[in-house]
Amino acid sequence: MKRILIANRGEIAVRIIRACFDEGIESVLVVSAADTDSLAARLADEVVVIGPAAATESYLSAERVVQAAINANCDALHPGYGFLSERPTLVEACETNGITFIGPSAEIMQGSGDKLLARKMAESVGIPTGKGTGGLSSLEEAIEAAEQLDAYPLLLKASAGGGGRGMTIVRAAEDLREGFMRSSTEAERAFGDGTVYLEPYIEKARHIEVQLLADSHGNVRHLGERDCSAQRRYQKIIEEAPSVGLSEDLVSRIREAAVHLARALNYVGAATCEFLVDVQREAFVFLEVNARVQVEHPVSEVVTGIDIIREQIRIARGEEISFSQEDVHISGHAIECRINAENVPAGFLPSPGTVSEWTIPNGEGVRVDTYMHDGAVVPPYYDSLIAKIIVHAPTREAAIAKMVRVLERSSVKGISTTIELQLAILRDPVFSGEPITTKWLEESFLATYHA
């Protein structure tokens, strides 16, 4: 593996370029016309412009991405996350053209990426999944399925994808019609498939996920679990590793379930197995498998000392994972804050523009994954995530204090960001004093927060 095409942009593109550098591999970056002078473009060994700013004509075009890899003589392709990262069609195109896809095969991706298929596999190996329905393609099917479940509130979810898209809570029968139409329409728009399904909604839940690595030699390793319960509209805002406030037995069972499912899927590559923990019953149910590297992977890296992107590359080369499960030790506590270019007082509206000043303190136990710098442009065409600030400390309390110090001393001018919101969350006694549930941020904290 000598040249890797990076089919992404922003901070994850920068992250992959650095991993290529550490592995002694040349990096080729595809960019849209809006990203020709990005930090990632400056760092890559070679840059290929594949289309205009519109993602549908650039980053979301598997044909253009693969042709760029062929023209640049790349022997491998890393999709990052988002965009085409979980599209089996991209994997198939790579395989057809003799390009190594750094991730699972198209068949495995299809099985793990479809939530209903993944849930059936989880059920078949004894992992609790909750009492959910099959795929629902019409309102009539949804009404019949809801009557059979007979247990409101219910949650509508998209079958073909994640990221919170297509998810709607339905608290009463009279809300089902509107909820179904909203979820199905959003799922169709986001994933090209309007199929949804229903499952009981857990009122007090924590979002716990397990980072996995699996190679083609049958080895599966977990890197512990992350808590991603700080969410707004099912979008994660703060992530932590490891989880706190769960019994050792429950954590052990969650980790084992994730490894067991990866083996059942014959998974190869990096993946995240996500679960919901019912706080009241201290029980867990399977949510989904993400067949790619996650936005929040850095917190798992800093508490284990393992470079997940480099392991992805090695696995794709056919090598065995470079460490045993016994070698994985969780050290201290890590917190990641997602910094978005958004105007919080205006309702989290995107805030594109030119960054006139970018200052984020660095130092021991502080990591900043970003594509920002003085003069950087945040284009209006893509996701608003501009940086991830990750801190590592001996305890959760110390990690929160360190993150507060970093954010207090950060200065970003020219655009609006979510830094002040992150600070307010970290300073809140509920967040710092006890494990929160997935609805705390949206229903409790934001209900009284004033920027």
Q: Which residues contact 159 (CB under 8 A, 6 or more apart)?
A: 114, 115, 116, 135, 187, 193, 195, 196, 197
How many angstroms separate the CA atoms of 382 and 375, rounded? 18
pTM: 0.89
Q: Is 420 helix (H, G, I), strand (E, B) or coil?
A: helix
Domains along the sequence of the chain with CATH: 3-102 (3.40.50.20), 127-200 (3.30.1490.20), 205-448 (3.30.470.20)
- Cβ pair 87, 55 in contact under 8 A: no
Radius of gyration for the chain, computed over Cα atoms and rounded to the nearest angstrom: 21
Of the residues 292, 314, 338, 396, only one is catalytic, namely 292
Residue-level pLDDT at 282:
86
Q: Which residues contact 410 (CB under 8 A, 6 or more apart)?
A: 359, 360, 361, 389, 419
Annotation says 233 is catalytic: no
Residue-level pLDDT at 163:
66
Residue from 10, 128, 126 nearest 59 by CA: 10
What is the mean pLDDT of each successive set of 10 residues along the chain, which is 451 residues long? 97 98 98 97 98 97 98 98 94 97 94 82 90 84 83 84 79 89 88 85 90 98 98 94 96 97 95 93 91 97 98 98 98 98 96 98 96 96 97 98 98 98 97 92 92 68
Residue from 182, 13, 3, 154 nearest 83 by CA: 13
Q: What are the tokens at 287?
A: 């949510």
Q: What is the dihedral angle through the alpha carbons of 401, 404, 406, 407, rounded to the nearest 10 degrees?
A: 170
